[in-house]
Structure 1
């Protein structure tokens, strides 16, 4: 399985969108901003799109979901909680549950419910790769408010326990580190993976005078 990273931007936000592909069959994760870039890659490499996976409902991760769903006639997957909580709609939308396994083309996809950034955020585990959206970055974790901080802590602890350390992590944004590092790297270098007490995690994530959360690289 190959992972293609699309570095795209819109409305002042820089995203990392992904295409996983094998034997001319592929899945998009959080496609946004640059339809031509992504679509031309599919056409030039003769890749047949089989589906779209959405980690959460924020516009910078869903911007092109409807476009690809309609043009390529493929299903779009999002957690049932996210759909319900934020009234998300999209053509060909399929709701998925925590730890549900779905076959998208030839790919076996496991959905991991990881709330905190949003109530229904999910990560997708696929053949030794984990696509984490805005739940987990290589350098940190996503934005959350007081109502989501406990869930975010629990999500990080779940990832630490459930996902094998050799799994490659592919987040929705970069703040300096390249995507595709092993989870083991985060366990030693991402401070949120080193904070094992809920109170310490909460105090640090909700501290004042934090770096600009939109200082993307």
Structure 2
């Protein structure tokens, strides 16, 4: 298993992938970078913008895109700071756009299920997974699935909050269960005994996934 903060390099895609622990709520942000073009995306910059920017700088990456799994405050707190520093475009599901507009951000691209996002030569697939919030999404990049607050290690996100829907969450989890079991799961919070897992692990050990 990859350690927190460890650079993960895919030689075929020439991709940098880093899991970044941030903030006081055990959040994970993620950095996805194309080694050739130096284009990169940050996923869920909830806290510690300077830390995220420094890591991107260390790899000589230019942040062009901010990807949001949903719009809970602990996942978007540092969006404005990173936009101000990089002029990045924010990508968010259309059901979550109002919260992003409240931040005073104009460069917004609205996402739908099955959309493909390009970061240099890297392709990121959008999987709409409502349940925690109406516009929650997961991002599939190579064999890694960034799950936000939809799927944690051996648990799932809350559905007992405004916008939560247990029925939709169940349908979203069914969708994720159909993915290849080797796909690695990278959650939005460090709530588990390990920092990331696999679809196979979740199907075996996560009650909500049939484990």
Scaled by the length of structure 2, the TM-score of the pair is 0.84
Q: 1:125 aligns with which of 132, 135, 140?
A: 140
Corresponding position: 1:54 with 2:71: no
Q: What are the residue-to-residue correspondences of 1:142-161 with 2, within 5 Å?
A: 142-145=157-160, 148-161=165-178
> Counterpart of 2:202?
186
Contact map agreement 2:138 2:145 (CA 8 A) in 1: yes
Runs of 4+ in 1 over 3 A off after TM superposition: none
Q: 2:106 aligns with which of 91, 94, 117?
A: 91
Q: CA deviation at 1:148?
A: 0.2
Q: 1:76 aligns with which of 90, 106, 114?
A: 90
Give SS of 2:170's match.
helix
Give SS of 2:26's match.
strand
Q: What are the residue-to-residue correspondences of 1:129-140 with 2, within 5 Å?
A: 129-140=144-155
> Counterpart of 2:27?
15
Q: CA deviation at 1:145?
A: 2.3
Contact map agreement 1:17 1:29 (CA 8 A) in 2: yes
Stretches of structure 2 lacking an aligned partner (at least 5 in a row) = 1-14
Contact map agreement 2:34 2:119 (CA 8 A) in 1: no
> Counterpart of 2:6?
none
Q: Answer with 1 or 2: which has the greater Rg.
A: 1
Give SS of 1:115's match.
coil
RMSD across aligned positions (CA): 1.7
> Counterpart of 1:37?
51
C-alpha separation in 2, matches of 1:106 and 1:64: 26
CA distance 1:103–1:22, shift in 2 (3 Å): closer
Stretches of structure 1 lacking an aligned partner (at least 5 in a row) = 196-217
- How many residues align? The count is 190
> Counterpart of 1:169?
185
Contact map agreement 1:15 1:60 (CA 8 A) in 2: yes
Scaled by the length of structure 1, the TM-score of the pair is 0.82
